[in-house]
Amino acid sequence: MWKKILRPLLFSIPADPETTHNFAVGCLGALGKSKLASYALRKRFFAETRPLSRTVAGIRFPNPVGLAAGFDKNAKAAHGLEALGFGFLELGTVTRHPQPGNPRPRIFRLGNDSAIINRMGFNNEGADAVARRLSSSRRFSVPVGISIGKSKITPLENAADDYLYSFEKMHPYGDYFAVNVSSPNTPGLRSLQDKSSLDKILSALDAARKKLGPKPIFVKIAPDLADEAIIEVLETCHQNNMDGIIATNTSVSREGLSTMTSEAGHAAQKFYAEAGGLSGKPLAEKSRRIVSFIRSRAPKIPIIGVGGIFNGDDAYKMLEAGANLVQIYTGFVYGGPSTARDINKRLLALAAPKQ
């Protein structure tokens, strides 16, 4: 029904894709407020996944398929999302200050390539507001990660203060945290992957959790880093007791894209030339290669693999490459509410690596 009826209908709405996205978040948020509706969703979309469960960074995950950050930036739809069969959710990215993000339109579907370009720019209500919402939420049945980023108005030299504020404010509500220093949509953010800048941020976070209580911290890296830069990131993470790597974020490269029209059938537009981060199928091979490279350099570090995962075979390849867990975003947008369930069923059939 999703692929034949609902997706074509939603994708044909004469508005930019962000409107459709907000509609989906609103619906999931409304359903998630009802325990009965959540139960009904869970019965429909949750697969039996006990053989796939695993412990990573000290957290027990009921299955290895998670939702990547960016879909539910303000923790409005988390209870609806957890009922769709995900093994974990990553909320955010959350910044210290509320911010509107970049001007619209800022999401572009590349249907012929099963891809998306976005330049959202960390639009969110800010750490205070998201913390208040989570403080009044009922308990989650799956682990919840929180992605934190730098506010646009914060100078790069003060980035550590921004990450520290959000971490401290959100600390009670996240099972783990993701340090997003790799989005291409906040000016200068990717420079925070450089050793000196990253060291300042991670050392502040490591010191804070020693006071607040241990919570695993992952660092999310860009798919466009050279191998030498990845090695430097790994060394900096090790020196600051970080718990894992998320590989990878969206790409500024347009390698592998074709010229296309929008799925809505509007006039031909060269969406591949739009500024922003590319996600989806074109990243699959690149992300797997980076995961494999990290695993070869750091055999024991937990890795969350993300990029171009649409089905169980894609997820299996990422796990085989060395990931302990996987995340989906674009695959969920195109695949619909049964995506996590279908991936897990296929992993069960393939006897996914136990890590």
Closest CA to 38 of 50, 30, 49, 48: 30
Residue count of the chain, please give it.
355
Quick one: which H or E segment has residue 273?
none
3-state secondary structure of 347: helix
Q: Which tokens in the block code for residue 82?
A: 């957890």
Q: Which of 114, 183, 197, 292 is catalytic?
A: 183
Pairwise CA distance, residues 111 & 221, whole Å: 26
Q: How far apart are the first and last CA of the chain?
A: 34
Q: Are 119 and 148 in contact (CB under 8 A)?
A: no
SS3 content of the chain, % helix, strand, coil (to 5): 45, 15, 40
Told to judge if 183 belongs to the known catalytic residues of this protein, a careful annotator would answer yes
Cβ 281 vs Cβ 251: under 8 Å: no
At residue 234, what are phi and psi to the nearest 5 degrees? -60, -40
CB within 8 Å of 208: residues ≥ 6 apart: 164, 167, 168, 171
CA distance 5 to 19: 18
Residue with tokens 């796990």: 319
Q: How far is CA 315 from CA 26, 174, 175, 262, 298, in A?
A: 28, 24, 23, 27, 21
What is d(CA 294, CA 201) in angstroms, rounded to the nearest whole number?
21
State the Cα–Cα distance between residues 110 and 261, nearest whole angstrom: 8
Catalytic positions: 183
